[in-house]
A and B are shown apart, each in its own frame.
Chain A
Amino acid sequence: MIYIVCLIWAGTLFFALYTWRFYPERFRAAIQSFCKTSKIFLGVVPLALIAAGFLSPIIPSELVGRLIGETAGFSGILIAILIGFCMPVPPPIFFPLIALLLGAGAGFAQLIALIASWNIFAAHRTLGIELPMMGTYFVVLRVLASLAVLPLSGVAAGFVAHWLGLPN
């Protein structure tokens, strides 16, 4: 992680120096844009991180597991998408839960629908970063389009798992 941070900083500083040296006017525009965007990261983002930290111990993970493990078929896929939609937990909590479900024999179709839905909606990310940066129209458009497409991804996962001879 520390290497990635150093690499990004080095690249940014080099790029900034280059712009400052050869395109001073554009550099000034970049500083203005930086100030405008940084407001969001000073206000909403830290608060949203705190909210997500409070919410993840409240979510009853075991209940979620039982729901997904017990419902099969297309209704199972729909329930998985619904659960993924409202799970504001970060990856280090989410993937151990998936490993548990996989071990307990949940179908690939439901699990993949759950992961895809959590990936697409991830409430902590959508509310905390995407909404303040990109605005309501972008988020609503993306969520609507994804809701229409996601159930089919579960069905496709069922077919692929069947084709490969895995539990579905």
Chain B
Amino acid sequence: MLAYLKSIVWDRLFAVVAAIAVLSGVILFELRGGDAVWKALLANERVFLIVISLVPAALMLSALIEVMLSREMVEKWLGVGSGFKGIMLATFAGAFVPGGPFLCFPIVLALYRAGAHWTPLITFVSSWSILSAMRIIVFEAPFVGFELPLVRILSCIWVPPVIGLTAYYISRIFPPPESGGTR
């Protein structure tokens, strides 16, 4: 248990994020006083509720997806040789996958571990960020109406596949590290 806790805290990224949190907290305290810091902590209450209630399920779901998907199938549809087919599938899936980042990234990691290539995964994340139907309906349309999202979809629909293709060519010039780069 102690070793487990130590492996969480003894981490470079953990140190960087902790430093950012402390620094921004101090700046906020200097600018707006202690009340603003307390308010900013409480403003996260909803997000923390979502994290606590959803994340264990999302992580378990993605772990199950990872072990149950057959490697051949993932490699056929999203692997190195999937090419344009993989990119189009990723664009389509990203636009219609519901749920926030706490569901999306565990699934992306599971697909990667199951044999998917970088290019379709980057396309998927881009499509999920720009075209996500769910986010437009829940967040965007209530504030700005439907005109702006419509123009945005019409003018950005080609963006995720092109980002995927660009990432493919960049990854050919700068190949991934031997370890694969992920955790």
Contacts and interface: CB of A to CB of B under 8 A. Distances in A.
Would you call the interface of chain A mostly helix, strand, loop, or mixed? helix
A43 B16 CA distance: 12
Contacts of B36: 57
Contacts, number: 246
A82 interface: no
A136 interface: yes
A58 B31 contact: yes
Nearest to B165: A145
A57 B32 contact: yes
B50 A1 contact: yes
Interface in A20-57: 23, 26-27, 29-31, 33-34, 36-57
B120 to A, nearest CB: 12
A115 B51 CA distance: 25
Given A40-B183, A99-B143, A141-B170, A51 B21 contact: yes
B contacts with A: majority SS: helix
Given A57-B28, A95-B140, A19 B17 contact: no
Interface residues of A, number: 86
Contacts of B167: 141-142, 144-145
Contacts of B43: 53
B68 interface: yes
Given A41-B55, A49-B51, A54-B37, A96 B143 contact: yes
Contact of B151 (A23, A26, A161): A161
A16 B67 CA distance: 11
List the 5 closest A-B pairs by CB distance, nearest first.
A137-B181, A51-B21, A54-B24, A145-B167, A145-B166
Interface of B: 4, 7-9, 11, 13-14, 17-18, 20-21, 24-25, 27-28, 31-32, 36-37, 39-41, 43-44, 47-48, 50-51, 53-64, 66-68, 98-99, 101-103, 105-106, 108-110, 112-113, 118, 121-122, 125-126, 129-130, 135, 139-140, 142-144, 147-148, 151-152, 154-156, 158-159, 162-164, 166-167, 170-171, 174, 176-177, 180-183
22 contacts: A5-B50, A12-B58, A33-B110, A34-B60, A39-B4, A39-B7, A39-B8, A41-B51, A41-B59, A45-B51, A54-B25, A112-B152, A125-B101, A130-B125, A133-B109, A138-B118, A142-B167, A144-B166, A145-B122, A149-B163, A153-B159, A157-B151
